[in-house]
């Protein structure tokens, strides 16, 4: 059994995730039905992107029918910018929903029906209780194999005699799989359900009549059919722990008293981080004293773990993007897109901010820093306010003589949304592929692009 307890899975929302994976769309908001639907779980077979823009909103107070974004804006948006637009419109939708719900409360008070539930229902005005999530996606699950459902079963199961479509929403699961190809993500999801069921049932042998009897049989059948060793597959809690675990203590710097034993914290501007990309290594230099350096060490020695085998750790990739961005702003030719959104974003803004928060916490431990590592900035472009971040420490990439700010490695280009000329041109001309280092290999926000 996994080392995680049932309380760990519930805290991570896995209990609801399993219910979502087991429930037809019509039971999306019926929590009681979902609890029983887990008896009909079958393993995930395919992953699909979430529902596509625009998101409709019926404002009952003003009588307006709105779309986030407008249909015209969505259709006219360039493909390489659709991902950013999709997530930005979710934020706009949620902001409008919160304002609308406040207006509904004011309307009820004005009509003096704020305490009369029946009158509220008869008014034809209601709140939008359910919002949108950045972490929703769809699954297609395997068909039934053990006659759990027959033609005499409830109508809601009749359409599920073949493959099963499900809508799920869990931040931990989404962040665990968004980076990896489907052939690794699907076993991780199914192993998570397997470990959750083992935690719920105490690992006992299930018998016919037990709630999870057929669910466990389906999982074991799937693993055997796919030749998968379930013991070798991590669940999402294990995968995220390995990837997000912080270093145990501060680094040692030659010539400088070990900062972990120092009484006083250091400051961000006292440090320069040098990325030796060709060596898969980092170096931390204490500014104003050239000899004060951590030395050059592999990523893992500083606690940066690979999110996929031997590929650049996400936190290190974010450091590299900031380093390239800083260099490009100093030396790049005019006309090149140099916005934070273009150059820094990994996948989408919310995912990038998650990685940045993890990076900041990581560096604070390594360098014994209490202050913020990034400064929040704002700028207005075309009448719209944008928020971006500036690192408060120095970052450099150790270039060879033939390298320059114009060069992005194949690895740093993978699944990128940057504004670098070669990447944008590759998307526009259809030249993005394995050879260019720009390709799609799993559940990815690029699925939002209309084909």
DSSP symbols for 347-386: SSHHHHHHHHHHHHHHHHHHHTB-S-SEEEEEEEETTEEE
Q: Is the dihedral of CA 378, 379, 384, 388 positive or negative?
A: negative
pLDDT surpasses 90 at 449:
no
For residue 328, tell me if it sits in a domain.
yes
pLDDT score of 217 = 96
Instruction: Specify the pTM.
Output: 0.67
- 270: DSSP letter: G
In terms of Cα–Cα distance, which of 133, 199, 223 is closest to 172? Answer: 133
Last residue of one domain, picked from the residues 242, 276, 305: 242
329 half-sphere exposure, CB direction, 13 A CA radius: 13
Which residue reads 């192993």 in tokens? Answer: 191
Q: Left, alpha or beta for 300 (phi > 0: left; psi -120 to 50: alpha)? A: alpha
Whether residues 148 and 287 fall in one domain: no
For residue 22, tell me if it sits in a domain.
yes
Whether the Cβ atoms of residue 212 and residue 200 lie closer than 8 Å to each other: yes
pLDDT score of 61 = 92
Tell me which of 20-29, 35-44, 100-109, 209-218 is least confident: 20-29
Whether the Cβ atoms of residue 74 and residue 440 lie closer than 8 Å to each other: no
pLDDT score of 414 = 35
Q: Give the CA angle between residues 367, 362, 438 to the nearest 5°.
A: 125
pLDDT score of 179 = 74
Q: Name the pLDDT band for 349 (thresholds 50, 70, 90).
A: confident
Whether residues 193 and 80 fall in one domain: yes
In terms of Cα–Cα distance, which of 254, 264, 291 is closest to 368? Answer: 264
pLDDT: is 251 or 149 the higher one? 149
For residue 114, tell me if it sits in a domain.
yes
In terms of Cα–Cα distance, which of 418, 15, 413, 414 is closest to 180? Answer: 414
Mean pLDDT along residues 57-63: 93
In terms of Cα–Cα distance, which of 248, 247, 294 is closest to 271? Answer: 294
- 254: DSSP letter: B
Exposed, middle or buried, 186 (CB in 10 Å: 0-12/13-18/19+)?
Answer: buried
Interatomic CA distance for residues 32 and 22, integer angstroms: 13
Q: Name the pLDDT band for 247 (thresholds 50, 70, 90).
A: low
Q: Give whichever of 28-42, 168-182, 188-202, 395-409 has the largest mean pLDDT.
A: 188-202
As for how many domains the chain has, the answer is 2
For residue 435, tell me if it sits in a domain.
no
- Within 10 angstroms of residue 276's Cβ, the number of other Cβ atoms is 15
Whether residues 258 and 162 fall in one domain: no
Tell me which of 169-183, 309-323, 392-406 is least confident: 392-406
Q: Beta strands 136-141 and 44-48: pairing type?
A: antiparallel
Mean pLDDT along residues 358-368: 90
Whether residues 74 and 145 fall in one domain: yes
For residue 202, tell me if it sits in a domain.
yes
pLDDT surpasses 90 at 13:
yes
Whether residues 21 and 106 fall in one domain: yes
For residue 289, tell me if it sits in a domain.
yes
φ/ψ of 293, rounded to 5, equals -145, 150
Q: Give the CA angle between residues 366, 372, 375 to the nearest 5°.
A: 130
In terms of Cα–Cα distance, which of 417, 419, 412, 418 is closest to 437? Answer: 412
Q: Name the pLDDT band for 258 (thresholds 50, 70, 90).
A: low
Last residue of one domain, picked from the residues 242, 272, 287: 242
Whether residues 352 and 251 fall in one domain: yes
Domain housing 49: 6-242
pLDDT surpasses 60 at 403:
no
pLDDT score of 14 = 96
Whether residues 339 and 209 fall in one domain: no
Mean pLDDT along residues 55-81: 90
Which residue reads 């008293």 in tokens? Answer: 257
Percent of the chain with pLDDT strictly greater than 90 = 42
| Mean confidence (pLDDT) of the chain | 80
Whether residues 44 and 171 fall in one domain: yes
Mean pLDDT along residues 404-428: 38
Mean pLDDT along residues 333-349: 74
Interatomic CA distance for residues 68 and 93, integer angstroms: 6
Three-state SS for 73? helix
Tell me which of 153-162, 234-243, 387-396 is least confident: 153-162
Which residue reads 């073949």 in tokens? Answer: 162
For residue 364, tell me if it sits in a domain.
yes
Whether residues 236 and 249 fall in one domain: no
Whether residues 72 and 155 fall in one domain: yes
Whether residues 305 and 235 fall in one domain: no
Whether residues 198 and 329 fall in one domain: no
Q: Beta strands 271-276 and 281-286: pairing type?
A: antiparallel
pLDDT surpasses 70 at 368:
yes
């Amino acid at each position: 059994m996994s080392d995680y307890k049932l309380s760990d899975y519930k805290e991570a929302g896995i209990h609801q995730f399993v219910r979502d994976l087991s429930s037809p769309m019509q039971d999306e908001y019926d929590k009681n039905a979902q609890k029983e639907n887990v008896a009909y779980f079958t393993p995930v077979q395919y992953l699909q992107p979430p529902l596509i823009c625009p998101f409709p909103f019926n404002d009952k107070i003003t009588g307006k029918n709105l779309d986030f974004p407008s249909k015209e804006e969505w259709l006219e948006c360039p493909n390489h910018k659709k991902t950013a637009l999709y997530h930005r419109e979710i934020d706009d939708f949620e902001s409008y929903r919160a304002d609308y719900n406040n207006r509904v409360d004011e309307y009820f008070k004005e009509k003096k029906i704020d305490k009369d539930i029946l009158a509220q229902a008869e008014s034809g005005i209601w709140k939008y209780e359910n919002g949108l999530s950045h972490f929703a996606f769809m699954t297609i699950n395997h068909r039934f194999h053990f006659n759990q459902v027959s033609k005499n079963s409830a109508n809601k199961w009749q359409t599920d005699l073949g493959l099963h479509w499900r809508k799920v929403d869990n931040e931990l699961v989404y962040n665990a799989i968004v980076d990896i190809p489907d052939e690794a993500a699907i076993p991780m999801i199914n192993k998570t359900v397997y470990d959750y069921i083992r935690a719920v049932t105490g690992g006992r042998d299930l018998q016919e009549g037990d709630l999870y009897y057929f669910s466990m049989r389906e999982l074991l059948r799937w693993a055997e059919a796919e030749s998968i060793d379930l013991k070798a597959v991590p669940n999402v809690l294990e995968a995220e722990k390995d990837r997000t675990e912080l270093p145990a203590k501060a680094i040692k710097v030659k010539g400088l008293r070990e900062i972990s034993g120092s009484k006083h914290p250091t400051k961000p501007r006292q440090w320069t981080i040098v990325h030796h990309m060709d060596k898969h290594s980092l170096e931390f230099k204490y500014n104003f004293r050239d000899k004060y350096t951590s030395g050059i060490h592999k990523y893992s020695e500083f606690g940066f773990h690979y999110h996929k085998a031997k590929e650049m750790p996400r936190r290190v990739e974010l450091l590299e993007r900031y380093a390239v961005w800083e260099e490009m702003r100093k030396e790049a030719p005019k006309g090149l897109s140099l916005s934070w959104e273009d150059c820094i974003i990994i996948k989408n803004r919310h995912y990038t901010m998650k990685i940045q928060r993890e990076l900041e916490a990581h560096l604070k431990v390594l360098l014994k820093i209490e202050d913020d590592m990034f400064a929040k900035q704002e700028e207005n472009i075309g009448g719209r306010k944008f928020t971006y971040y500036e690192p408060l420490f120095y970052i450099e990439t150790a270039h060879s003589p033939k390298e320059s700010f114009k060069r992005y490695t194949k690895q740093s280009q993978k699944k990128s949304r940057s504004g670098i000329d070669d990447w944008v041109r590759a998307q526009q001309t259809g030249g993005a592929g394995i050879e260019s280092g720009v390709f799609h290999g799993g559940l990815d926000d690029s699925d939002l692009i209309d084909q």
